[in-house]
Amino acid sequence: MANFMRIADSLCLDYINTRIFERGLEVEHVQNFGDLLQFLLESSMITPAVAGDLGRNWPNTEQNRALRSALTFRDQLREMAESLSRNQPLDGTTLLEINELLAQQRGYTSVTKNGTAYELRKHRNIEQPEDLLLPLAESAASLLCEGDRTLVKKCGNPNCNLFFYDTTRNHTRRWCSMETCGNRMKVNSYLQRKRQTGNGL
């Protein structure tokens, strides 16, 4: 079973959503290097063989460095998403960090036949901790350059900190999830209306 939420329709936003508010408390879902590997594995950014190899063979110092870098980068991505969701320009340091990660990429791309179609497939060489963050930097870059930035939204529940990329046809998505925040906010506004009209006494 998957450990991480997939509600954002964007890899980098799903990654930001690994630190969430639950019942008013902030909950960290990337607590250690294993959690980071698990997130990348569930996102198909690394294979089970690579995850197993890094978990077993990378020294603790490298694992800790990867975790620290990943959490710092997540803070920067969160600032990026906050700015985009408010239609504000980006903080320059986020762009710098994205570009630094992109500049370090190692590996190659190949063309693979998939049925009657052809697919580009990336082969990444993961030699140092920062290499693990490359897919997240690429996702942020494609959101900025190829996506519609106005569709980066924060959940309409003021007590919720989840972001998503609104892929609905009319771009009317307001909630991280209808089942949780959507219903809660609807019930709240219903109760408020009832109070205002005095029918709820």
Cβ atoms within 10 Å of 48's Cβ, excluding its own: 9
Q: How far is CA 156 from CA 6, 95, 107, 176, in A?
A: 18, 27, 40, 8
CB of 8 to Zn ion, least distance (A): 11
- Of residues 11, 30, 37, 155, which one binds Zn ion by CB under 5 A? 155
| Position 160 contacts Zn ion (CB under 5 A) | yes
Per CB under 5 A, contacts with Zn ion among 162-191 are: 162, 176, 181
CB of 75 to Zn ion, least distance (A): 20
Q: Assess contact for 65 and 129: CB atoms under 8 A.
A: yes
Helices (H), 44-91: 48-57, 60-85
| Position 66 contacts Zn ion (CB under 5 A) | no
| Position 139 contacts Zn ion (CB under 5 A) | no
Residue 94 is encoded by which pair of tokens?
A: 């986020």
CB of 35 to Zn ion, least distance (A): 21
Contacts to Zn ion by CB under 5 A: 155, 157, 160, 162, 176, 181
